[in-house]
């Protein structure tokens, strides 16, 4: 077992990694955390699927054939491709039948019917690679439902395996609303014995729930912010898993994600038209005017409110869309939005843009460079999430002195210090916040934000200067993970 001074051997399993494949915040963490652990001197292996779209990366990597047994009735031959990705020792699990597809989780609209087996092969393949290469992990770090089965396989399939006797599992919850439900018909294929198909483990309304099983069998569970961890213990914020989270509350913690300031810094960002160190040195104003011109908005001094988001109910569009109509009617605000997802939400945003062509721009899709220009050129960032495990855009916004307007949930509460009604904390505030998940509550805070912008520019600038100094470093987060890992190694396996 690793001592408190010796480097840890950490196996990180993730279905997506920024720089290879990304659909959400999991990918950012799956690159940034292992990279920081490596920088801190730990021995890390990052295991991901060898997707067809990343073939150019892994096709020349070392090839190793492996046989995995998901169950006692069949064997499956897969391969491990080992190399390095952005300085991180990486293992890509190759199985063309599972991962040589156009999509990652779906065909563009419908989830792949065999997702449970696809990611079971990722989970078991990661553990099998450890055995085949004699690389004994101290920590098996799974992420979300896609690799939750690794915690179960370690606890049950390898319970009596001396090789893994000291290994402990961690399951990080980036978004527990996505749980990996599938038909109970997959039990045998996945190697889940019927004794574990009950409401306290994998069973969920007659289906298999992979995340639920991972939560049951992981040695430790953590959420990507302290606020989200506390919400998971409540019925309202637990995505239907409250009883299980409360049962395992002693193993649940929250570690706030960090930010990659190498990519998100206004002093050095290659995607913005002007660099700036302070919100009032002229660079931010230049970024705003350039963004207004790029998006066809009137170039003026109106507050420019920006948003970058998946178009999904989670992100609060049922609040934002009616609030935008009222705000545009009653104020001079401009709106610039970038996002993709729900077609109905996109159609409503296009309708707003058509109604106010010189004041509203909606770009459907995702454009990373445009995202940087929105962060740099906006005056405020809108993030009225129904729930938000951590959130990164509000952290990026702070760094660019673009004041976030957020709802008081999850990681948003942990990263944004709201301006008090009496502005008594103007020197410490970094944004605006509302509580009730209603359009009226959002409109009230939006109009307050616009009043401060116009009528109290000294307060606005003070908040910007505080915001731009905020730092949420990955080094801090990684050190918190290491503390958790070492604590876990001192206790018996769950």
Q: Which residues are bridge partners to 92 per DSSP?
A: 48, 81
Residue 406 counted as domain residue: yes
**34 and 161 share one domain:** yes
* pTM of the full structure: 0.93
Dig out the tokens for 262 from the structure.
């190498």
Do 485 and 346 share a domain, yes or no? no
Q: Which two tokens stand for residue 56?
A: 């150019």
Q: 354 and 301, same structural domain?
A: yes
22 and 41 housed in the same domain:
yes
CA-nearest of 444, 427, 428 to 436 is: 444
Q: Are 191 and 292 contained in the same domain? A: no
DSSP codes of every residue in 48-106:
EE--GGGHHHHTTSEEEEEEE-SSSS--EEEEEEEEEETTEEEEEEE-HHHH-SS-SSB
Length of the chain: 494
How many distinct structural domains can be found in the chain? Answer: 2
Task: Give me the CATH number covering residue 447.
Answer: 3.40.50.2000
Residue pLDDT tens, the chain, 494 long: 554 579 999 999 999 999 999 988 899 999 999 999 999 999 999 999 999 999 999 999 999 999 999 999 999 999 999 999 999 999 999 999 999 999 999 988 899 999 999 999 999 999 999 999 999 999 999 999 999 999 999 999 999 999 999 999 999 999 999 999 999 999 999 999 999 999 999 999 999 999 999 999 999 999 999 999 999 999 999 999 999 999 999 999 999 999 989 989 999 999 999 999 999 999 999 999 999 999 999 999 999 999 999 999 999 999 999 999 999 999 999 999 999 989 999 999 999 999 999 999 999 998 989 999 999 999 999 999 999 999 999 999 999 999 999 999 999 999 999 999 999 999 999 999 999 999 999 999 999 999 999 999 999 999 999 999 999 999 999 999 999 999 999 987 76
C-beta of residue 91 within 8 angstroms of C-beta of residue 2: no
Q: Are residues 222 and 289 in the same domain?
A: no
Structure tokens at 6: 């010796």
Give me the half-sphere count of Cα atoms (radius 13 Å) on the Cβ side of residue 106: 6
Beta-bridge partners for 45: 11
Distance CA 253, CA 108 (A): 34
Does 447 map to a domain? yes
CA distance 107 to 84: 29
Cβ-Cβ contacts under 8 Å for 449 (sequence gap 6 or more): 303, 380, 403, 405, 432
How far apart CA 452 and CA 305 sit, in angstroms, is 14
Whether 321 is in a domain gets the answer: yes
Give the CA distances from residue 360 to residues 149, 363, 466, in Å, rounded to whole numbers and listed in that order.
Answer: 45, 10, 28
Q: Are residues 318 and 187 in the same domain?
A: no
245 within a domain of the structure (yes/no): yes
172 vs 485: CA distance, rounded Å: 12
Q: Are 93 and 33 part of one and the same domain?
A: yes
For the CA atoms of 380, 385, 388, 394, the dihedral, rounded to the nearest 10 degrees, stands at 0
The three-point CA angle 127-130-132 to 5° equals: 110
Q: Are residues 161 and 64 in the same domain?
A: yes
Specify whether 431 is located in the same domain as 485. no
Residues 242 and 319 in one domain: no
Residues 346 and 235 in one domain: no
Please enumerate, as own/partner, the contacts of 18-22 that have beta carbons within 8 Å and a separation of 24 or more. 19/85, 19/86, 20/48, 20/51, 20/54, 20/57, 20/85, 21/48, 21/51, 21/53, 21/54, 21/104
Can you give the C-alpha Rg of the chain in angstroms?
A: 23
Report H helices in 361-473.
Answer: 368-377, 393-399, 410-415, 439-455, 457-467
- Asked if residue 276 is part of any domain, the answer here is no
The answer to whether residue 273 sits within a structural domain is: no
Any idea what DSSP says for residue 21?
B
383 is a domain residue: yes
Residue numbers of the domain that contains 205:
9-258+474-489
Q: Which two tokens stand for residue 90?
A: 């990486």
Residue 2 forms part of a structural domain: no
């Amino acid at each position: 077992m690793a001592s408190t001074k010796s480097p840890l051997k950490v196996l990180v399993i993730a279905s997506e990694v920024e720089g290879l494949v990304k659909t959400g915040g999991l990918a950012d963490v799956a690159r940034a955390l292992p990279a920081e652990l490596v920088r801190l001197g730990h021995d890390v292996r990052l295991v991901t699927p060898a997707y067809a779209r990343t073939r150019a990366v892994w096709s020349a990597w070392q090839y190793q054939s492996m046989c995995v047994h998901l169950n006692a009735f069949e064997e499956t031959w897969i391969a491990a491709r080992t190399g390095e990705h952005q300085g991180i020792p990486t293992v890509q699990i190759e199985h063309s039948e599972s991962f040589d597809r156009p999509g990652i989780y779906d065909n563009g609209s419908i989830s792949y019917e065999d997702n449970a087996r696809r990611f079971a092969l990722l989970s078991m393949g990661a553990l099998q690679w450890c055995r085949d290469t004699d690389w004994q992990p101290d920590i098996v770090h799974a992420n979300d439902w896609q690799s939750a089965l690794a915690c179960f396989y370690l606890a049950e399939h390898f319970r009596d395996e001396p090789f893994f006797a000291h290994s402990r599992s961690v399951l990080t919850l980036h978004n527990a609303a996505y749980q990996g439900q599938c038909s109970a018909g997959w039990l045998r294929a996945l190697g889940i014995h019927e004794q574990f198909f009950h409401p306290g483990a994998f069973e969920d309304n007659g289906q298999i729930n992979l995340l639920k099983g991972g939560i049951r069998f992981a040695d430790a569970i953590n959420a990507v912010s302290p606020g989200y961890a506390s919400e998971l213990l409540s019925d309202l914020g637990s995505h239907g898993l409250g009883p299980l989270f409360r049962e395992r509350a002693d193993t649940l913690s929250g570690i706030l994600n960090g930010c990659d300031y190498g990519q998100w810094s206004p002093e050095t960002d290659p995607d913005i038209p002007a660099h700036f160190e302070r919100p009032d040195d002229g660079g931010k104003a230049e970024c705003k005017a350039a963004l207004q011109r790029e998006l066809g908005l009137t170039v003026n001094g109106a507050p420019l409110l920006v948003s970058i988001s998946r178009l999904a109910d989670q992100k609060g569009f049922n609040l934002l869309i009616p609030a935008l109509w009222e705000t545009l009617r009653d104020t001079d605000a401009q709106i610039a939005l970038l996002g993709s997802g729900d077609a109905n939400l996109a159609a409503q945003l296009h309708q707003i843009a058509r109604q106010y062509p010189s004041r509203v721009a909606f770009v459907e899709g995702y454009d990373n460079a445009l995202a940087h220009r929105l962060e740099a050129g906006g005056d405020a960032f809108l993030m009225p999430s129904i729930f938000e495990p951590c959130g990164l855009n509000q952290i990026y916004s702070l760094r660019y002195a673009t004041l976030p307007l957020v709802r008081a949930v999850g990681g948003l509460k942990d990263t944004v210090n709201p301006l008090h009604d009496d502005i008594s904390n103007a020197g410490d505030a970094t944004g605006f916040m509302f509580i009730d998940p209603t359009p009226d509550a959002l409109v009230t805070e939006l109009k307050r934000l616009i009043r401060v912008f116009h009528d109290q520019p000294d307060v606005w600038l003070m908040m910007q200067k505080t915001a731009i100094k905020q730092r949420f470093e990955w080094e801090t987060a990684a050190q918190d993970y290491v503390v958790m890992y070492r604590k876990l190694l001192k206790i018996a396996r769950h």
